[in-house]
Structure 1
């Protein structure tokens, strides 16, 4: 078994758990509105989804290593709910969820080390793993992009069968200080048209937290 194969297998359980545990393309026009500054991801920004305006808030995650913009109404999932929804010990460190719990944004560190130039190959091999373990209804492909903060992010998108409904899943793979980090966005397939702009905002807003690190940060449902 080669080095890359070993790294792929080390993430298989995490990917399988994240994708399997969640209860869902038409893209609406979206506008990021910032109160001040040149960055579209200020603390008081908002995302327009048709006639609805969703307030966004920058959150510090992963022990202060990264920052990401998420809907202000999303809260960290309570520990007991997280243990029920993600029964494996490999549950994500950070789980943001909507009020009704049907839309989730999660983040997790892994033990895998990877060079940025290896990310495209890594994403394709992880996609192969997912296709082998998930009940895929609609495979939507892979992509590696560089966002506005110069962070390379690999994306894997697919719709999988859930218990009661089909689920849209978006897996994010990115690297910080040589370490692979993983994010997920998921919602019901029927809600994709509403929530995909939020998924795009998540991807575009991810970036390394500035130094010195903030004195307080959100540790996620597992570590509270």
Structure 2
């Protein structure tokens, strides 16, 4: 299958919209080497000397669930239009209290089989390297999280308006459709926030049918 077509262009636009925010980034790295730990139920994450409470949020019209810091707020559409001017802005944006750490999610029009995901992730990595001001390319990989979901992970540090940005992109499938998540923060803060990036990937899973039937578009599950 040739993916360097309108599907790649569509995803490239979405990736650029998510990563071109001057205070945001996209990246991902394991946290085991940074002295951080996740609780068994993933309800609490340790950030240095602090413990951050997580709560489940329904995303993408209730199709998926993810653990997000309780202090992160759902960004209203009007604020999202200002922070992400592109028409390809993410559908779902959760942001920290100071707005410097963001977790976003998008659906795409691309369909794949599970076997095609690794090649697709490599192709998207090549696209990103051609369009982003990369400072440090940290690679791509496909991992399986604790819910059994295969996730393509793309990591890099890019130049922002005022500072370098640590970027993580997650590419995963739901009923054959490619979904995209991003985690972003300043490079100077990335070691602190790596546990949240890791939790985002580890906690993603399809939502139960009741959530899918009651979820309303445009609202989070708070």
TM-score (norm 2): 0.90
User: What is the aligned residue count?
Assistant: 213
Residues 22, 162 of structure 2: 8 Å contact kept: no
- 2:20 is aligned to 20
1:29 to 35, 52, 64: 35
Q: Distance in 2 between matches of 1:18 and 1:98?
A: 16
Does residue 162 in structure 1 map to residue 136 in structure 2?
Answer: no
- 1:116 is aligned to 114
- 1:11 is aligned to 11
- 2:142 is aligned to 144
Residues 63, 212 of structure 2: 8 Å contact kept: no
Q: Distance in 2 between matches of 1:189 and 1:52?
A: 20
In 2 relative to 1, CA 111–170 (structure 1 residues): closer, same or farther, beyond 3 Å?
Answer: same
User: Aligned-pair distance for 1:80?
Assistant: 2.2
Q: Distance in 2 between matches of 1:219 and 1:69?
A: 19
Residues 108, 178 of structure 2: 8 Å contact kept: yes
Q: Distance in 2 between matches of 1:149 and 1:143?
A: 17
TM-score (norm 1): 0.89
User: Aligned-pair distance for 1:221?
Assistant: 7.2
2:56 to 37, 58, 80: 58
Structure 1 gaps of 5+ residues are: 35-39
In 2 relative to 1, CA 202–218 (structure 1 residues): closer, same or farther, beyond 3 Å?
Answer: farther
Structure 2 gaps of 5+ residues are: none
- 1:210 is aligned to 208
1:186 to 181, 184, 187: 184
Q: Distance in 2 between matches of 1:84 and 1:126?
A: 27
Of structures 1 and 2, the one with the larger relative CO (CA 8 A, separation 6+) is 2
Q: Quote the RMSD (CA, aligned, Å).
A: 2.0
In 2 relative to 1, CA 22–57 (structure 1 residues): closer, same or farther, beyond 3 Å?
Answer: farther
